[in-house]
Amino acid sequence: MTKRNIVTFILLSLFTCGIYSIYWAYVTSEELNKAEKSTPDLMNFILAFLLGIVTCGIFLFYWEYKFYSKVDKLYGTNNALIYLILSIVGFSIISEALIQDTINKNDVANAD
């Protein structure tokens, strides 16, 4: 998975009013589908985002939980529920930054 700078991620997400977060979720979910094959692939994020609009955000929370669970399975963590709660209360940028931190730490561990 691609290592990304967390500060840059947060700043770009804030300056683009969340558009970079949408891009990040799309790219990261595609990478996650390729990296973790033991669970079914995640639905394309753009489709999930559109379904989230139609369902007033409810489907997007479901998709995010599946995304967080897949990250947990790949990296051996157990934080999906915490990330989901952060997203529900409006701190999805924090959960995304924490996930990117997990990816970055794992990439460093694999490089050694």
Q: What is the pLDDT of residues 26-83, one digit of tens each?
A: 999 999 888 888 888 888 888 898 999 999 989 999 999 999 999 999 888 899 999 9
Every domain of the chain and the residues it spans: 6-111
Could you please report the per-residue DSSP string of 62-79?
HHHHHHHHHHHHHHT---
Residue 111 has pLDDT above 70, yes or no: no
Instruction: Name the helix (H) or strand (E) containing 46.
Output: helix 45-54
Kindly indicate the confidence band of residue 112, based on its pLDDT and cuts at 50, 70 and 90. very low
pLDDT score at 109: 52
Nearest CA-CA partner of 96 in 1, 21, 20: 21
Please give the average per-residue pLDDT across 88-110, as a whole number: 86
pTM value surpassing 0.75: yes
